[in-house]
Amino acid sequence: MKPDWDKLMEEFAGRDTQLVGDVDCTAEGKPICDSNDVKGFPTIKYGDPADLQDYQGGRDFDSLKAFADENLKPMCGPAHIDLCDDEKKTEIETFMAMSDEDLEAKIAEDEKKLEEAESNFKDEVMKLQETYQNLLKDKEAKETEVKDSGLGLMKSCKAAKAKADAAKEEL
State in Å, rounded, how far the first CA of the chain is from the last one.
69
**Around Cβ 7, how many Cβ atoms within 10 Å?**
13
Separation of alpha carbons 56 and 65, rounded Å: 14
pTM over 0.85, yes/no: no
How does residue 167 score in pLDDT terms, banded at 50, 70 and 90? confident
pLDDT in tens, 10-45: 888 888 777 888 888 888 888 888 888 888 888 898
- Residue-level pLDDT at 126: 97
Average pLDDT over residues 46-71: 88
CATH architecture, range 2-74: 3-Layer(aba) Sandwich (3.40)
Kindly report the average pLDDT of the chain as a whole number: 90
Quick one: DSSP state of residue 81?
Answer: G
- Residue-level pLDDT at 72: 83
DSSP string, 3-50: HHHHHHHHHHTT-SS-------TTTTTHHHHHHTT--SSS--EES-TT
pLDDT in tens, 122-165: 999 999 999 999 999 999 999 999 999 999 999 999 999 999 98
Average pLDDT over residues 111-121: 96
pLDDT in tens, 64-104: 999 988 888 888 889 889 999 999 999 999 999 999 999 99
The secondary structure of 81-95, three-state, reads: HHHCCHHHHHHHHHH
Separation of alpha carbons 6 and 20, rounded Å: 9
Q: Does pLDDT of 171 surpass 80?
A: no
- Residue-level pLDDT at 29: 86
How much of the chain, in percent, has pLDDT values that exceed 90? 54
**Around Cβ 25, how many Cβ atoms within 10 Å?**
19
- The domain spans of the chain are 2-74, 100-171
